[in-house]
Amino acid sequence: MSAGILLQRGTLWKKLIKQTQYALQTGALQSIPTDYEFIEQSGINFLVRTIANLVRKDVDTSRDQDFNPFLPYDQDLFVADISDTHLCLLNKFNVVEHHLLIVTRAFEDQETWLTQQDFAAMLTTLAEIDGLAFYNGGKIAGASQKHKHLQLVPLPFVPQGAKIPIESAITAAQYTNAIGTIPAFPFVHAIALLNFDGQDLATASLSMQECYHRLLRIVGLDCQSSSSHGAYNLLVTRKWMLVIARSQESFENISVNALGFAGSLFVKDTTQMQILKAHGPITILQNVAISR
């Protein structure tokens, strides 16, 4: 059954804004400044951010491998209780403004499959904030912490352009038996449209989990096993769900997580930006995914 929801409707965005202001004042939230530009390839206007300073994050993540920032979590980063099983935190080292983490209260491994409770928490936050929810299924898929956490960034990513860079590519998807492929994506993936109008949360979250299982099977992942075997990225909006199978975490030292497949890439410096421009965003995504 779906977890009991604790969040009062219509309150998450206000809580997020208030806690962001407070966490910035206390220094708990350490936003990473970036510049960005658009790079077009295959009809997709990729948003590429250049990260100005990674020193703070590098220092923080170099701690003991078993360090868990979510147990206990920093109270100054706490946004809201979502359900009996999940809560929302600010992403301490955020690049995107108002970046939320949807974290399990008890420890669960980031490489385990998503549960109905995970989807209930995701749906609850998406109902409050029109955004992109995503999951990095394992270290190879870009996960930086072992403790299970989904993430959400509000849309649009930036004021100008499409709400999400891959919007035009999603529109061009071709469907067979309700499962689609995107012509611009030369790598293994599967997409499905979502519509949970009129469904209660328990029904909708179960339907979403079933859709997730179907997409996993199509990209070659065995979701019937007790734990995750094979890395993947999951992207979800109010309208669609997309799964991409992963083969490696980075290309030419350019790390890629789920946001990369949404058309938003991050590079550390001008050298990595030159590499990205030389190869093209699609080539980088193809190399960290599985070519088809």
pTM: 0.94
Q: What does the alpha-carbon distance between residue 187 and residue 220 come to, in Å, rounded to a whole number?
A: 12
How many angstroms separate the first and last alpha carbons of the chain?
A: 37
| pLDDT at residue 1, rounded to an integer | 41
- Provide block-wise average pLDDT over 10 residues at a time, the chain (292 residues): 79 97 96 93 95 53 69 96 97 94 96 96 97 97 95 95 94 96 98 93 96 96 77 97 97 97 95 96 98 92
Q: Which domains does the chain have, with CATH numbers?
A: 12-288 (3.30.428.70)
Question: Rounded to whole angstroms, how far apart are CA atoms 65 and 62?
Answer: 8
Q: What is the Cα–Cα distance from 198 to 87, expressed in whole angstroms? A: 25
Give per-residue pLDDT as tens, 154-188.
999 999 889 999 999 999 999 999 999 999 999 99
What's the confidence (pLDDT) of residue 3?
Answer: 61
Q: How many residues does the chain have?
A: 292
Taking the C-alpha atoms of residue 132 and residue 152, their distance in angstroms, rounded to an integer, is 5
3-state secondary structure of 35: strand
What does the pLDDT read at residue 129?
97
Burial of residue 154 (number of CB atoms within 10 Å: 0-12, 13-18, 19+): middle
> How far apart (Å, rounded) are the C-alpha atoms in residues 164 and 128?
18
> What CA–CA distances, in Å, run from 135 to 2, 41, 45?
19, 25, 23
CA dist 149 and 143 (Å) reads 9
Distance CA 200, CA 131 (A): 20
* Per-residue pLDDT at 84: 96
The pLDDT score that the predictor gives to residue 225 is 73
Residue position matching structure tokens 């299970």: 148
Write the CB contacts of 237 (distance below 8 Å, at least 6 apart in sequence).
126, 131, 132, 133, 155, 164, 194
